[in-house]
């Protein structure tokens, strides 16, 4: 019976140590989409290095989920799905905070199929409503901009085909 209690006690100590850190304010998106978060541990514990947890050890807004891996001076965060482009995530643990930026949202290509049909390609998903509200096509004549009307004729999550009307 003492053996079972000792195992339970050891797992409680390990769980307590996993949460004993503060965010130092630095973050970096790594190749493959993982995020490195600079942290300071309350006490150095080499046994934590390499441990992975799916518990929510930091709170972020907008909310993101994934797995966390402990390393010597950082925690690696592996998002369940890629971070949204153009979005800044504010994360905190207690009073310590860090910002994670998903990267710039950009129009990566604009292809003309014919004189009146174009394909707009983005580096992340875009909704039809966001596109219609924020994407303008202009014609320059005599140094003046004229707004050209268009309609979306086909779409995928990252691509929209527009026809000038």
Using CB atoms within 10 Å of the CB of residue 113, give its burial: 0 to 12 exposed, 13 to 18 middle, 19+ buried.
exposed
The pLDDT tens digits for 4-26 are 433 433 333 344 455 688 999 89
Output the six-digit token pair for 157: 């999550």
User: Does 79 have pLDDT greater than 50?
Assistant: yes
Q: What is the pLDDT of residue 80?
A: 95
Largest CA distance in the chain: 89
Going by the DSSP 8-state scheme, the letter that residue 85 receives in this structure is T
State pTM to two decimals. 0.75
Chain centroid to Cα 159, Å, comes to 20
| 114 bridge partner residues | 117
Short-list 85, 83, 160, 148, CA closest to 118: 160
Output the six-digit token pair for 4: 């079972």
Short-list 23, 84, 83, CA closest to 59: 23
The pLDDT tens digits for 39-77 are 998 887 778 889 999 999 999 999 999 999 999 889 999
> How confident is residue 136, by pLDDT bands cut at 50, 70 and 90?
confident
- Looking at every residue in the chain, the average pLDDT score rounds to 85
């Amino acid at each position: 019976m003492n053996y079972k209690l000792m195992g339970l006690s050891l797992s409680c100590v390990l769980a307590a140590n996993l949460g004993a850190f503060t965010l130092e304010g630095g973050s970096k998106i790594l190749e493959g989409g993982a995020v490195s978060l600079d942290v300071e541990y309350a006490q150095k514990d080499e046994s934590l290095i390499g441990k992975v947890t799916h518990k929510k050890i930091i709170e972020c807004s907008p909310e993101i989920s994934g797995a966390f891996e402990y390393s010597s001076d950082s925690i690696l965060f592996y998002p369940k799905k890629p971070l949204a482009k153009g979005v800044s995530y504010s994360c905190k643990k207690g009073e310590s905070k860090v910002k994670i930026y998903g990267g710039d949202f950009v129009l990566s290509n604009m292809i003309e199929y014919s004189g009146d049909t174009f394909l707009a390609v983005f580096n992340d998903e875009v909704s039809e409503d966001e596109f219609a509200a924020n994407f303008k096509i202009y014609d320059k004549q005599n140094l003046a901009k004229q707004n050209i009307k268009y309609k979306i004729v086909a779409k995928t999550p990252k691509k929209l085909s527009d026809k000038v009307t």
